[in-house]
Structure 1
């Protein structure tokens, strides 16, 4: 007989078939998150992590308390660690395993799933940039999921720590390319090998330079076909140097050409014309 069959909590709480670590109390209809252990805490009451059931019969409460006390006494030396799930019984180990399997299925990070990925995954999964644009302004379906919240908090904390360690400006997270990078990492899943010093310094940098040149070539073709406007933008940096940015605008958008140090120039219309032409 399995632990699930003998655990009395399964008689008084119903497991959510689509979310295995959620249970609904049969007496008050309260849904708890944290497996059958949290459901038992709800039934017996007086626990910090779960709101007490106001309708549970006294005999049911006593049955659950005696069951938990017996398990704790039999397994008092056993320690099981699982974040946000205070478990101290063999039966709850089974619940932890269910939670872990459920999490792997929803996050796509299991080793078996990664081994099965092939060329079709690249075809069926949209490019990260398209995914980011599609999600703009949309409400995420899993934003209230307790496990997802904890995983996101953990990821944000470690990423922020890396930013502070590397001295990256805070406004870097406002770049559209940042959202795309996060999406691309998420599509890979757990176990991704980060880029090395050599990769970001040589091959990846060359790849971005080639991409910029291709974009510039497209803009030049557009300018030749439909014309363009040359624009200048002057500003002063923290060292009181006057800089003038030269840009070209066409139907494809604006493109940066160069930045000129004009600190020693008189800022006249004629001089700006000479710099631009």
Structure 2
């Protein structure tokens, strides 16, 4: 049985978040990334405490960074601040990836118009079909109904732990550092934003892992001229919801408070800008 509701849900999330940005006429904070952003940052709380419009534009790392930008970048304006707490595998995924392919193919049914974006098309098709089959399990269908999406785009209400962190697969890291097409896209996006008076800050993701490749991550962040600790928003085992990139309510609260402190304190604001 194939069920494409998960892919439709991603398209719906992206459409809602694009509309949020399009309707905002004030200077805003935009937290951009995959599902670690969606689950990890309570933008309602950030907006209330900083008294500035704040939007959670996290959907899924499997869209591909460029696919996300195609929808979001037209709605960024001078004076905005963009935070990029990108998942580690965002940097190594292609700019247009499997769930972008899935949306174009199975939701919009406009694959032929967009086919030049995608590499290894048969592989993406097989992954999409595998996901459509596995996402139809009762557990995953129930999980998608468990979260409440707020008016600023974050998930709230996930106050339990659905997966034992010990059962989760480790985050894969490349053995050696190599520049990727997505890294070039991120660097180009940052340059365009700064030229238009849009502040961009690269940050590590919200994640859980027993081990990380410190050497690889040092080289990754050095590529972008950043000296940030990958452990900045690292979760402990009790703060995991159902994935290495998904925080439960306790983890989200702690991570959000940490980010607010960084944005509030003058010396940290200077670093983030």
Shorter-chain TM range is under 0.3
Q: Which has the higher contact order (CA 8 A, sep 6+)?
A: 2
Q: Provide TM-score, normalisation by structure 2.
A: 0.21
Q: Provide TM-score, normalisation by structure 1.
A: 0.21
